[in-house]
């Protein structure tokens, strides 16, 4: 059973598993309805719980920023459509958090009372709960390929600025053909890939391309302007 769970979890580089679902915004054929766009499929444990509510306030209010980056959000929890609708209405009408209020969720929230999608995407972690999804995010590119997966436990709310950084990072990697160092933000220097041989790396150390700075043969960086990095999202 444990082996099956691990074996069937989608991984980075896999095609996003397909499913049809009912959502708060009608039915969705996933991921084909999002073909040509980035999409973040994310789960939360339960409706009407405080941490999940705080996350929806933040993520919901950031949805237009993600949209500008050609990215759509799709939420999921093991709950019914009616529960989702009632919870989102309560959030809109009553909840205030970090100066936000009257937040409307303009993205679909999947009814996964059957747990079919949560199981398919490895969102059920029995050590946390047999019946609720953990806080998972799948970043899926315009070709329907899973590019990053993030998991948080149930009691810890996510940092959505970091999730935006992941998206912008993936788009920058694709457009600019670079790798990004720890804590990279648009405007920061990017890593230059190692040449295939040690000799070529030594040669690069001796004749560094303009703008490239190497502190050793395996550690070279070059500038990438914020504008160039940010264009990454708009172009796709």
Residues known to be catalytic: 52
Q: Give, for 86, the enclosing helix (H) or strand (E).
A: helix 81-94
Alpha carbon distance 208, 201 (integer Å):
10
CB 132, min distance to ligand BEZ, A: 6
Q: Which region holds residue 208: left if phi is over 0, alpha if psi is between -120 and 50, else beta?
A: beta
Which of the residues 74 through 103 are near ligand BEZ (CB under 6 A)? none
- The token pair that represents 83 in the structure block: 């529960």
27 or 131: whose CB is closer to ligand BEZ?
131
Q: Which residues of 90-122 are buried (b: 16+ CB within 10 A; e: fewer)?
A: ebeeebebeeeeebebebbbbbbbeeebbbbbb
Which DSSP symbol is given to 48? Answer: T
Determine, following the binding rule CB under 6 A, whether residue 134 of this chain makes contact with ligand BEZ: no
45 or 144: whose CB is closer to ligand BEZ?
45
Which stretch in 29-37, 43-51, 169-177, 199-207 sits in contact with ligand BEZ by CB under 6 A? 43-51
| Residues present in the chain in total | 236
Residue carrying structure tokens 């990053």: 148
9 or 51: whose CB is closer to ligand BEZ?
51
Q: Binder to ligand BEZ among 21, 23, 31, 46 (CB under 6 A)?
A: 46
Q: Is 124 helix (H, G, I), strand (E, B) or coil?
A: coil
Which stretch in 31-39, 49-57, 59-67, 224-232 sits in contact with ligand BEZ by CB under 6 A? 49-57
Q: How far is CA 68 from CA 91, 153, 167, 205, in A?
A: 24, 29, 12, 39
39 or 57: whose CB is closer to ligand BEZ?
57
Q: Binder to ligand BEZ among 15, 50, 86, 126 (CB under 6 A)?
A: 50
Which of the residues 167 through 186 are near ligand BEZ (CB under 6 A)? none
Determine, following the binding rule CB under 6 A, whether residue 51 of this chain makes contact with ligand BEZ: yes
How many residues sit in the footprint of ligand BEZ (CB under 6 A)?
8
CB 140, min distance to ligand BEZ, A: 24
| Contacts to ligand BEZ by CB under 6 A | 45-46, 49-52, 154-155
């Amino acid at each position: 059973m444990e082996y099956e769970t691990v074996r069937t979890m989608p991984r980075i580089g896999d095609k996003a598993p397909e499913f049809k679902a009912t959502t708060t915004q009608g039915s969705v054929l996933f991921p084909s309805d999002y073909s040509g766009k980035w999409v973040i499929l994310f789960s939360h444990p339960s409706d009407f719980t405080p941490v999940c509510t705080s996350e929806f306030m933040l993520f919901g209010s950031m949805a237009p920023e993600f949209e500008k980056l050609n990215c759509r959000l799709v939420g999921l929890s093991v709950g019914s459509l009616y529960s989702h609708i009632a919870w989102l209405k309560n959030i809109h009408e009553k909840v205030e958090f970090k100066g936000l209020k009257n937040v409307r969720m303009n993205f679909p929230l999947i009814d996964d009372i059957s747990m079919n999608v949560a199981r398919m995407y490895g969102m059920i972690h029995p050590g946390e709960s047999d019946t609720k999804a953990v806080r998972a995010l799948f970043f899926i590119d315009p070709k329907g390929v899973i590019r990053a997966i993030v998991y948080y436990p149930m009691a810890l709310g996510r940092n959505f600025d970091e999730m935006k950084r992941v998206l912008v990072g993936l788009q920058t990697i694709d457009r600019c053909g670079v790798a990004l160092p720890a804590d990279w933000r648009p405007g920061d220097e990017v890593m230059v890939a190692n040449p295939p041989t040690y000799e070529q790396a030594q040669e690069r150390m001796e004749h560094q391309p303009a703008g490239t700075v190497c502190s050793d043969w395996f550690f070279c960086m070059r500038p990438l302007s914020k504008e160039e990095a940010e264009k990454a999202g708009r172009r796709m």
